[in-house]
Amino acid sequence: MTFDWNAHRFSGGVLALDLANTVIFREAPDRSQDRFADPAEVPRFAIAAANFRQGEWGDIQFLSPLSQGDIAVLIDVREAINRLFRTAAYGEGLKPESLSAFLRLGSEIVCSIPEEQSLMLPQSSEKARQLSLAAAAFLSGMRLFEPARLERIKICPNCHWLYFDESRNRSRRWCDMRVCGNRAKARRHYSRNGRLAEISHV
């Protein structure tokens, strides 16, 4: 069954967090779902990410991993991103062990990129380019290390996604107000009326 990689799925705000969010309900093991459990979803995510992350990467094609080994590397990067920034979102900073694992993986990935490949942020005049999804996610994560950006990473209380709060006063509470925010409102409504409702993440 295919999955709709729509705008809501990219509520993380940056590619690194979007990749981490391909697992939902991370903090509720009984409800947790990995959208990459079906490997066919990986290239579909890469195509959608190139569309929804043009503001971050410009005109780019994210090269999806082709082999099981390459997919495993991408999953390792995803989990390293999640561990590193989820801890930071809880106010515990960047932990040495998690940071080391993230940098080690990223170094191995970047070392395999051709020497002539530009890893810089896109310029307005830059032509379309290609970059592996794993490398782009790593570089996206690197750009979150700046303290002013790191403190804007939050965790959605509904779906447990990581998201980058770009609001002026950092007041955003949900990854997506139209989805998780509205579901939280519905949950409170049902609770006030003495009814239990299971609000799932569609």
Q: Is residue 58 part of a domain?
A: yes
In this prediction the pTM is 0.88
The answer on pLDDT for 164 being more than 80 is yes
Q: Is residue 1 part of a domain?
A: no
CATH number at residue 64: 1.10.3300
Q: How many domains does the chain have?
A: 1
Tens-digit pLDDT profile for residues 61-115: 999 998 999 999 999 999 999 999 999 999 999 999 999 999 999 999 999 888 8
Q: Is residue 181 part of a domain?
A: yes
Q: Is residue 147 part of a domain?
A: yes
The answer on pLDDT for 192 being more than 70 is no
Structural domain boundaries enclosing 29: 7-192
Q: Is residue 199 part of a domain?
A: no
Q: Is residue 61 part of a domain?
A: yes
- Give the Å distances, CA to CA, from 165 to 12, 14, 71, 91, 121: 9, 10, 29, 15, 20
